[in-house]
Structures are given as C-alpha cells and as structure tokens.
Amino acid sequence: IIAFCDEEGVRFQSTFLGSAAISGSLPPAIMQVSDK
C-alpha cells in the first residue's frame, strides 16, 4: 500500500506527481520545472 497526498499542486502546476511517477504516466516536461 502506498499513500500519496497532494502537496505538489500548491508549489507546481500539476497535482499528484508522486502517483503519476510511480504509475509511469508522469509527463516528461514536468521534469524541467524547478522550485523557487
């Protein structure tokens, strides 16, 4: 069991990055986004 929460949507313009990465559906362009 893996649980994810949505903190990414507050700082980045995408939600649920962790679950998208685990499932293989993370858009490649999101890897270019940086935190300020």
The domains of the chain are located at 1-27
pLDDT of residue 6: 64
Q: Contact 16/6 with Cβ under 8 angstroms?
A: yes
Residue position matching structure tokens 């986004």: 33
In the predicted structure, residue 23 carries a pLDDT above the cut 70 = yes
What is the distance of C-alpha 36 from the center of its chain? 16
Provide the pLDDT confidence category of residue 7 given band limits of 50, 70 and 90: low
pLDDT of residue 13: 67
Q: Contact 14/8 with Cβ under 8 angstroms?
A: yes
Output the pTM of the full model: 0.48
Gap between the Cα atoms of 32 and 4, Å rounded: 22
